[in-house]
Amino acid sequence: MSYQKNDILTVTIEDMGHDGEGIGKIEGYTLFVKDTVIGDEAEVKIMKAKKTYAYARLVRIVKPSPHRVKPVCPVARPCGGCQLQMLDYQEQLRFKENKIRNNLQRIGGFSNIPMEPIAGMEYPFRYRNKAQFPVGKDRDGRLITGFYAGRTHQIMENRNCFLGVEENETILNLILSWMEECRVTAYDETTGKGLVRHVLIRYGFTSGEYMVCLVVNGKQVPEKEKLIEKLCTVPGMTSISISINQEQTNVIMGNTVRTLWGQSYITDSIGEVKYQISPLSFYQVNPRQTKKLYELALEYAGLTGEETVWDLYCGIGTISLFLAKKAKKVYGVEIVPDAIRDAKQNAALNGIKNAEFFVGKAEEILPEYYEDYAKEHPGENAHADVIVVDPPRKGCEESLLETMVQMQPERIVYVSCDSATLARDLKVLCGKGYELVRVRGVDQFPMTCHVECVVLMSRVTK
């Protein structure tokens, strides 16, 4: 049985896909339906039909799932930010844990997975310390800001995102009022004209410090004193800057940042470690869950103070400095020069002297170090007691995995934001002398489909 575009069907949702879409079947024909959850009976309209499956749009809920809840945010459905607000939070956690387990089974080929209960949040809202709001105009020419609607670049007006801190709305109101009063234009993607493209807001949960950075299609902003005067009414305002981006690109931030007022950074702490965060710094957006994530990584590393540790894809040294408190020596590797500069500053800020940082691709730096060590120390191999790896979504290059194995660490701690590429990499490592010991999900991004995962691997001794 197959169906055609515009067919109206009634289907019971039995599962959910990796992007949070509901999955149901009619006589073996699979339907993927956004905005539905497991247990929903839904009337849907087919938008794109294939031979064995189709993508459909929700028309109405015939009978709601017992796990369906009313979203807190009034624009949760059209917004591209939250995919799971209509799903009870405990069910969200179950969905994410199953997502990790299923990927490890299906892609990694693992059975008897040593899964530990996922670490969720007591209050899964207002957790983001960073938000980027595009600025534009509506059909009536009125200035608006918000988020892009799902899979589009159409701005859906919303100044009060329930994932961000409440003060974001106040800051956005001040910026738009300055733009209106001073006749500052919004950037138009179609024409490439207009000044203000995005507003970046960062908040230090422990310091109470705010940063505002306007991404602009120019080298300066008019009447900046009025902008500064308005923003300085916000308690905790610490840094006001512009990021210059004059390219016609989907990349938000430009490469040049100019401070207009205050410091060029804000500070925040995770546990006992302080960090300086600039507009371009990579820093985990959910500090409460990040503390849990890093504590897990530290626990899995099993440090006694005698170990040499490599932290690959170290960013601004967030995990490296956590590890350095318990290790003999930590080496961090990161491709972004500004991040390494921040990492060194953060080490100095915390009085940490046993951390060293390298700029470059992890898949190049580590093999080069291994080869150079062998040349300088004939008959010896470079060794790491523990390797911690926290790669981007694409996972690790196979050459990097190979070098990791050659360095024979007793333990590998893999922190992942994508359990599919994680499963692929773990399969490689397990084929080269390592075994899976512990696996735990950490819900860094409630109300979305994304989930972090920490894995401990141990070298098999014969």
Q: Which residues contact 209 (CB under 8 A, 6 or more apart)?
A: 203, 236, 238, 239, 266, 267, 268
Question: Which residue is listed with tokens 């509901």?
Answer: 22
Question: How close are the terminal C-alpha atoms of the chain, in Å?
Answer: 54
Round to whole Å and give the CA distance between 279 and 303. Answer: 33
Distance (Å) of CA 364 to CA 308, 404, 408, 412: 19, 12, 18, 19
Rounded to whole angstroms, the Cα distance separating 134 from 188 reads 11
Among 412, 394, 416, 390, CA closest to 402: 412
What count of residues does the chain have? 462
CA distances from 254 to 69, 176, 195, 215, 411 (A): 40, 21, 13, 7, 39
332, 390 contact by CB (below 8 A): no
Q: What is the CA radius of gyration of the chain?
A: 24
Per-residue 3-state assignment (H helix, E strand, C coil) for 266-334: EEEEECCEEEEECCCCCCCCCHHHHHHHHHHHHHHHCCCCCCEEEEECCCCCHHHHHHHCCCCEEEEEE
The question of whether 417 is a catalytic residue gets the answer yes
Element of type H or E holding 343: helix 337-349
Q: Which residues pair with 48 in a beta bridge?
A: 55
* Alpha-carbon span 265 to 228, nearest angstrom: 16
Q: Which of 79, 213, 396, 417 is catalytic?
A: 417
| Backbone dihedral angles phi then psi of residue 112, each to the nearest 5 degrees | 50, 50
DSSP state of 129: S
Measure CA 179 to chain center.
30
Helix axes 398-406, 362-376, angle to 10 degrees: 30
User: Which residues are known catalytic residues?
Assistant: 417
